[in-house]
């Protein structure tokens, strides 16, 4: 009985950690797409675009690359967790 409870608790912990890592990778994809958008629109350097995004990380930076890179981030997170 105790082994089943521990197994269920471990599964819940793994699922929660997996979701948190996927959200973090999605956020990284969002920030990378914001950097790419700044480079293309404002014609500034990568470091200036990075500093602009880091200074206000939760502004509205949504562009055409955002859904693609956010999905790619989730896929990479799940794939890395699958390998470990």
**Measured between alpha carbons, how far apart are the two ends of the chain, in Å?**
28
How many residues belong to the chain? 84
Alpha carbon 28 to its chain centroid, in Å, reads: 4
- Residue 53, both tokens: 């995004």
Helices (H), 1-84: 2-42, 46-55, 66-83
What is the reported pTM?
A: 0.85
Asked whether residue 1 carries a pLDDT value surpassing 60, the answer given is no
Asked whether residue 12 carries a pLDDT value surpassing 70, the answer given is yes
């Amino acid at each position: 009985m105790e082994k089943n409870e521990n197994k269920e608790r471990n599964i819940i912990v793994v699922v929660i950690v997996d979701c948190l890592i996927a959200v973090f990778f999605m956020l990284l994809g969002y920030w990378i797409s914001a950097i790419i958008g700044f480079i293309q629109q404002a014609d500034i350097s990568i470091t200036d675009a990075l500093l602009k995004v880091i200074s206000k990380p939760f502004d509205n930076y949504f562009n055409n690359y955002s859904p693609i890179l956010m999905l790619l981030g989730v896929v990479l997170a799940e794939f890395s967790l699958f390998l470990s």
